[in-house]
Structure 1
Amino acid sequence: MRAAPIFIALSAIGLALAGCSGGQSGAEDEAEATATDSVQIHRPFRAGPGSVNSYWLEGADEVLVFDTQREIALADRVVAAIRATGKPVTAIVISHYDPGHFGGLQSFMEAFPEAELLMTEDVAEQIGRDLSGYVERLRETLGEDYRMPPEPTRFIENREELTVSGVPVIVHVVSDTEAETMAMLSIPSEQALLAVDMVANRMHPDFTDADIDSWPRALDRLTRDFSGYTLYPGHGEPGPIGLLVANQVAYISFVRGLVEREILSDDVATEAEINEAITAIRSNYPDWESVTGRPAQLRRNLEAIVAQLGGELEADREEEEDGNEAADG
C-alpha cells in the first residue's frame, strides 16, 4: 500500500529568536519572533510530538495572546517571556475547543488578571459542554491544581476588528474544518494569518473532530482570500500560505484515499487494513510527529474518517452481532 510521496518541500524560513526556554522530556524550547514595523509575532516553540503553537502579538505598548499552550509548565515559561517586555497583556484569545490551545489558560489568567478573555460564543459553549472530554482530561492530569476555564469577558465575531497598539487584527471564524468552530487572526498590515489548526505543517493533524469534506474547501479559500500572506499554523513552522495550504490539502486527500481504496472497499474496516494504512502514512510522511503526542493518534484519525464516510469498524460490527445473538437467544 505504499504510495509515492506527495509532500511539497518547505524551504527554510529565517526567524528572529527571542528568549523563552523549557519544555518536557528534556526538549529545548525556542521562542521565535518575526520582527515587523509595528507588531512582533512571537511563537513560543517546543519541538517534538505534541508540540503546539501559541502566539503573542507585541505592540508598542501592549500584548495580545493567541492561545495558551497545552500545559501549565510551558504556559508559565511563555508568561515569563511576556512579563520581561514590561508591557501589559490586554487580551487573551482562545481559537477553538482543543486542549492544546487552552490547556495553559489558567497560568495566563493568573498572571494577567486584567486581560480580556475572548472567544466565540460557539467555542465557549463547546468548552462548557466538553463533549469530547478535553476539560475532564486536563482535570485528571492536573488534579487539584486545575481550575475550569472561566467565562469569557465577551464573545468575538467573524470580521470583528481587534487592535494591538492601534494595529488592526481581524477575527476570521471558520466552521466545520479541523474543528467544529475555529477563530483565526489576520494582521493585514503585516500580511500575516494566524490560521491555528487549519494547518499542521509537517505534523500529523488531528482528525477526531474534523470535517474532511469541507475542510479542504475552506483551505482553498484561504489561498484566495490571503494571497501572498505568511501562514502561522497551529503546529509546525510558519511559511508561505500557498505552499502550506497545498501540503495540508494533499495530506487530507492522501489519508482519505487510503480509507476509501484500501479500507472501505466492503464498508468494514478490519484491524489488518487499519494497520496497513498506518504503515503507509508513516512511510509517506517519515519523521513527522503527531500534533497530540498520543501514540494512537493515526489510528484514531483513520477511525474518525471511517465513521464520517459511513463505514464501520470490524470490532464494532462483531460486538453488535454478538449482542444481537444474545438478544435472540
Structure 2
Amino acid sequence: MVTDFKVHLVRGRFPVLPSAVNAYVVETPTEVVVIDATAAISSSQELRALAESLGKPLKAVLMTHGHPDHFTGLVTFKDLPVYASQGCIDFAHREDETKWQGGKQYLGEDFPDERSFPSQVIKDGDTLNFGGIDFTYTELGPGESDDDGMWLTEVDGIQHAFVGDTICNHTHAFFGDGHALHWIENIERLQKTLRLDAKIYVGHGDSPAHYADLEDQKAYLQLFIDTIKDLPRETPVTEEVVGKVMGRMKEFQPTEELFFLLGYELPQGIERVWKQLDEVKA
C-alpha cells in the first residue's frame, strides 16, 4: 500500500469570482508534481508554496488544457518542465493572443505581463513516473477547449483522474469554443475508461467529483445542444437567443457559480455548434 500519496487542492483567483479555478499539488512518496497552474500570480505562488512546503523535490507541471485560467500561472514555474500536448500548447498561444488584455483588465497586477507556456510535448498514451507513481496522458481532443486531456494514475487500486474542465462539477460551463458535440463523446469515453470508484479532479467546482457526475455533465451538455437546435438561426446570434439558452441552462443547474462564464463568447459557441449540427445532418 502506498501511504504517502496525497492530492492537495488549491482554488485560484478567477475574474469576477475570487476562488473558482482549481489546480492540484500531487504528493507521491518521494516527489511532487503540480497539475494546472491557475491564472493569477498570487494563486500560482500559493500553489508553488504549498508544493515546496511538503519537503520533497518539485519535479514538473502537468497541463490538462490551454485556457488562460489554467496556464497563465505558469510564470511561477518557469524553472520546471511543463508537459502538455502540442494541441494544448498551440491553443494556449492562440488564447493568449486574443485574451491577455482581458486578463490584465480583470486581474491587474495579479496578471503576468509576459506569459509562460508549456515546454515539453506529451503524446496520447505517454507515461511519466514521479516518485514511483505513473501518470499517463490521454488526449481527448476538442471538448471544453480546442484540445482537452486527462492525466490518469492508479494508486492502491483507485484511479485518480485529472480531467481539467471536461467536468465542471455542478457549476456552469464555457461553450465559446463550440465543441459541445465532441465534448459529449469525451464524457462517454471517460465513462468507459474510469471505474465507479474513481476520483475525478476537476477544473471548476467541488473536487474530487464522482463517476455519477459524468452523467450529470453529459446531461448539461445535451440540454445545451437540444436547446439551440430549436432556436431560430439568426446570425449574428441575438441577445434573445442568448437569453433563452442561459435561462434553460439555469433551470437545469440552478446555481450562480460560473454563470457569467456560460455567457462569455456564447454567441460564437452557438454559431459553431449550429454549423457542426448541419455537418452531422449532411
TM range (shorter): 0.7 to 0.9
- Structure 1 ranges of 4+ moved more than 4 A: 139-145, 266-269
Query: What is the alpha-carbon distance in structure 1 between the residues aligned to residue 272 and residue 153 of structure 2?
Result: 37
- Counterpart AA for 1:197: D
Out of 96, 118, 126, the residue aligned to residue 160 of structure 1 is: 126
SS state at 2:265 partner = helix
Percent identity over the alignment? Answer: 19
CA-atom RMSD in angstroms:
2.8
Out of 192, 195, 207, the residue aligned to residue 160 of structure 2 is: 192
- Counterpart AA for 1:176: P
Query: 94-103 vs 127-136, which deviates more?
Result: 127-136
**Can you list the C-alpha shifts for 1:100-123, whole angstroms capped at 9, x where unaligned?**
1012111233xxx2x212212222
Query: What is the alpha-carbon distance in structure 2 between the residues aligned to residue 118 and residue 222 of structure 1?
Result: 21
Offset, 1:196 = 0.8
Match of 1:304 in 2: 269
Please say if 1:222 is aligned against 2:190: yes
- Counterpart AA for 2:90: E
Query: 42-51 vs 170-179, which deviates more?
Result: 42-51
Q: Is the 8 A contact 2:25 2:50 kept in 1?
A: no
Higher Rg: 1
**Are the structure 2 counterparts of residues 103 and 143 from structure 1 closer, same or farther at C-alpha, using a change threshold of 3 Å?**
same
- TM-score under structure 1 normalisation? 0.72
Offset, 1:94 = 2.2
Match of 2:209 in 1: 239
**Are the structure 2 counterparts of residues 250 and 144 from structure 1 closer, same or farther at C-alpha, using a change threshold of 3 Å?**
closer
Q: Which runs of 5+ in 1 are unaligned?
A: 1-35, 312-329
- Counterpart AA for 2:180: I
Query: 140-149 vs 52-61, which deviates more?
Result: 140-149
Offset, 1:151 = 5.3
Match of 2:89 in 1: 124
Please say if 1:92 is aligned against 2:57: no
Q: Is the 8 A contact 1:106 1:147 kept in 2?
A: no
**Can you list the C-alpha shifts for 1:10-45, whole angstroms capped at 9, x where unaligned?**
xxxxxxxxxxxxxxxxxxxxxxxxxx6342111113
- Counterpart AA for 1:200: C
Please say if 1:79 is aligned against 2:48: yes
Instruction: Kindly tell me the number of residue pairs found equivalent between the two proteins.
Output: 267
SS state at 1:86 partner = coil
- Counterpart AA for 2:124: N
Q: Is the 8 A contact 1:187 1:193 kept in 2?
A: yes
Offset, 1:212 = 1.4
**Are the structure 2 counterparts of residues 144 and 59 from structure 1 closer, same or farther at C-alpha, using a change threshold of 3 Å?**
closer
**Are the structure 2 counterparts of residues 260 and 153 from structure 1 closer, same or farther at C-alpha, using a change threshold of 3 Å?**
closer
Q: Which runs of 5+ in 2 are unaligned?
A: 277-282
SS state at 2:22 partner = coil
Out of 41, 48, 55, the residue aligned to residue 7 of structure 2 is: 41
Offset, 1:214 = 1.3
**Are the structure 2 counterparts of residues 144 and 101 from structure 1 closer, same or farther at C-alpha, using a change threshold of 3 Å?**
closer
Match of 2:99 in 1: 134
- Counterpart AA for 1:80: A
Query: What is the alpha-carbon distance in structure 2 between the residues aligned to residue 145 and residue 178 of structure 1?
Result: 23
SS state at 2:144 partner = coil
- Counterpart AA for 2:177: D
Match of 1:204 in 2: 172
